[in-house]
Structure 1
Amino acid sequence: MFSFPRIIKLSESTRTEPLRVCSAPATLPQSGKKTSWVTITRVGSFTDPRYGRFEITAPMLLSMVKNFEDGVVGQDVFLDVNHNPGDGSAAKILKLSVEGNRLLGLVEWTDFGLKAVKERGFTYLSAEYHDNWQDNEAGLFHGATLLGAGLTVRPVIKRLDPVTLSCEADGSTLFCRNWPTI
């Protein structure tokens, strides 16, 4: 039986330990650098009328990072607004990382993306990935591969960290574990 590979557009998160991202929403570093770390997606089992039941696993997140670092897509990977890449880039993904059960991306914002977050209320990301991406040149399969993400107000995957535009000048952000609640 022939089955078509799925391209899934999503976002969300669940964790067992407290994780606080210490940053202020909708501000930029004083250095003029327009970068911040954002949560792209998370591990979990989900259902959606368009895709049926699907899972995002920790090995899939690690595969996305490896494939990004190896450049298997053959081009830069971008965020757009509301899954409309024809409207332009909201941000370019510079780096991917797995933190616990979440896929994080260091992104460089465009003015279009900053405006979408600050003025239009696009608060979450919805990942676009392929669970076993095949390149169209060599025909090789690469496993789970992030193709992009869309800023959205209603992601399929819930319990994601909201997008913030603040981070340290070097592109790092502070993750605070098990700090007491004040």
Structure 2
Amino acid sequence: MNLQEHKNSSAMMVWLSTDELKQLVDCPDDVQRQLALKLGGYCGLRSAEVVNVKPAHVRDTQIGKVLEVPAGKGDKYRETPIPDGLAGQIRTIGQYEGEDTTVVGTESTRTLRRWINTAANELAEQTENNRWEFLSFHDLRRTWATLLASADVDPMVAIEWGGWDDLQTFLDHYQGKYSPEARKRERNKVRWL
């Protein structure tokens, strides 16, 4: 877990490793809460976008499964890749509840913040690592962006998937830290360490 102070606040920005992200999304025992965390961490959705996801938004395309974000920040349309398993979960909800049902069961971003705080506090207690307590829902988007960069996804493709207006915003606010996996990979290049 990487932390960095916000420039204009006392809060911390957090970037999770792949394993920490998995720990987080597996923490709640409620499917809707897990889905919300997965949509933030595996698709890079903002909290306001997560509460609007419907099964009808999952599509098969030439590049694989994507999640449509019909009205992202600034009412901009975009498509972002979605893991097959997550797409399957959402489609299953559509089979039982209907294609136009929101999958996380809340319209409140405040509820999403409560859910992530509950999971983070539980993990802080379980792992005896109080750094979890700094985690916010938006940190899932930061983590997603950094994991894309660590996987060598072209930054211009990443900003398209994430719906950022420009590369500088992406670099300044989201790809601020390298993932622990990338740091370890680079450290292993140095024979004397």
Q: For this structure pair, what is the TM-score category when the shorter chain's length is used for normalisation? A: under 0.3
Larger RCO (CA under 8 A, 6+ residues apart): 1
Identify the structure with the greater helix proportion.
2
Identify the structure with the greater strand proportion.
1
TM-score w.r.t. the length of structure 1 is 0.28
TM-score w.r.t. the length of structure 2 is 0.27
